[in-house]
């Protein structure tokens, strides 16, 4: 099992594949025939739209899927929530690319599920911020639950950070995650502990002259700050 295919993500991948089978799509189309925004539209088309934060119908389709999930039961409602979770999948993998705590990214997936359950479809449809960008901002603090450990940009070298940011030109890389990475990097470099953190990460305690307790304090403060960047 690869780091991308932890237990929860692998199960979501299987459910997503089932939702796109011809049989399930026929069932879903029948159950969604009275759902505004979804009626008469192929499931794979809707899946592509809700996963694309730049699509002009992105928020409208996300809102319609939230509505479908709440007003019905059976394959159609399962399809709605699976499409929403699958759209959030790149966000979760970007925030915790290595499944750092070997828990199948449980806290992040729980944050996604809780956020989706709290969203109002009308608010999503009217929000000028793309659905996935707003969702990423809400779940990001859950990736920093153990701020004394290395987190994303803080532990990475400048070269590694630049490599991450250049991936914005790769269509397979999630654009909202890159945008958040840019914000994180800008905020981190403004923090008074940035030099201590990067020096400690590069050469360790003995050569940097920075005590671990000081690094831990910097990381806790910076993790709290970055949790509100989005």
Q: Please answer whether residues 76 and 65 qualify as being in contact, where contact means their C-beta atoms are separated by less than 8 angstroms.
A: no
* pLDDT tens track for 9-68: 999 999 999 999 999 999 999 889 888 999 999 999 999 999 999 999 999 999 999 999
Give the C-alpha separation, 227 to 230, whole Å. Answer: 7
* pLDDT tens track for 64-104: 999 998 875 566 668 999 999 999 999 998 888 888 778 88
**Computed from CA positions of residues 41, 46, 47, 49, in that sequence, does the dihedral angle turn out positive or negative?**
positive
For range 199-221, the mean pLDDT: 74
Q: Taking the model in full, what pTM does it have?
A: 0.63
């Amino acid at each position: 099992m690869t780091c991308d295919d932890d237990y929860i993500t692998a199960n979501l991948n299987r459910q997503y594949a089932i939702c796109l089978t011809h049989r399930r799509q026929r069932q879903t189309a029948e159950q969604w025939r009275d759902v505004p925004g979804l009626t008469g539209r192929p499931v794979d088309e809707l899946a592509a739209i809700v996963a694309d934060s730049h699509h002009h119908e992105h928020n409208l389709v996300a809102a319609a899927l939230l509505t479908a999930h709440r007003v019905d039961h059976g394959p159609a409602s399962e399809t709605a929530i699976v499409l929403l979770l699958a759209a959030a999948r790149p966000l979760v993998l970007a925030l915790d690319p290595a499944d750092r705590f070997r828990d199948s990214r449980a806290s992040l997936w729980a944050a996604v599920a809780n956020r989706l359950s709290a969203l109002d479809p009308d608010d999503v449809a009217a929000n000028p911020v793309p659905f996935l960008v707003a969702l990423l901002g809400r779940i990001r603090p859950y990736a920093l639950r153990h701020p004394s450990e290395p987190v994303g940009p803080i532990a990475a070298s400048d070269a590694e950070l630049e490599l991450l940011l250049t991936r914005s030109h790769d269509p397979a890389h999630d654009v909202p995650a890159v945008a958040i990475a840019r914000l994180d990097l800008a905020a981190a470099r403004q923090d008074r502990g940035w030099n201590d953190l990067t020096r400690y990460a590069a050469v360790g305690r003995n050569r940097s002259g920075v005590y671990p307790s000081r690094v831990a304090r910097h990381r806790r403060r910076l993790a709290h700050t970055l949790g509100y960047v989005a």
